[in-house]
Amino acid sequence: MVGNKLFESLDEILKEHTRRMIPMTVLLVTAGCAALANTPAQDLAWSRWTICRARASGTDIKTVQLDGRISFVYSGAGDNQAMLACLRQAAKDGPALPEPVSEARIGTGGSGGM
């Protein structure tokens, strides 16, 4: 008899816990999906990168921060300068983004950076 009441009590606790967890789970999943979307600044940075990438083929993007700051690596100093110049030119034709950050790709002998 005592065992049955204990199981009933545990069953009620489990049901209550489940009832409370479902809305929390839905909220967390929804928030997680929203975090996957780019900010408008990131979208702008990516569109500029896509255009400029053709002019500086020795570059690879590392990150685009929430504020639109691009971080990239380059193989040669010429690639670095070409990308920076292209991104600066693109900024003249639209909203400003933070200055990009560049670094030489390890093992390529690229020099300079920002």
pLDDT tens by residue, 61-71: 999 999 999 99
The sheet with strand 101-104 has its strands ordered as 59-64, 70-74, 101-104
Residue 8 lies in a domain: yes
Domain span holding position 30: 1-37
CA 30 to CA 1: how far, in whole Å?
44
What CATH number has the domain bearing residue 100? 3.30.70
**Residue 55 predicted with pLDDT over 60:** yes
**Model confidence over 69-101: pLDDT tens digits?**
999 999 999 999 999 999 999 999 889 999 999
Residue 106 has pLDDT above 80, yes or no: yes
Q: Are residues 21 and 69 in the same domain?
A: no
Q: Note whether residue 30 is domain-resident.
A: yes
Give the closest residue to 56 by CA, choosing from 27, 77, 35: 77
Dist CA 44 CA 1 (whole Å): 68
The per-residue pLDDT for 19 is 76
Q: Are strands 59-64 and 70-74 parallel, antiparallel or unpaired?
A: antiparallel
**Residue 44 and residue 32 share a domain:** no
Name the pTM for this structure: 0.64
Work out how many domains the chain is built from and give that number. Answer: 2
- Same domain (yes/no): 97, 47: yes
* Whether residue 19 is found in the same domain as residue 33: yes
Domain co-membership, 16 together with 59: no
Q: What are phi and psi of 66, to 5 degrees?
A: -55, -35
Does residue 28 lie in a domain region? yes
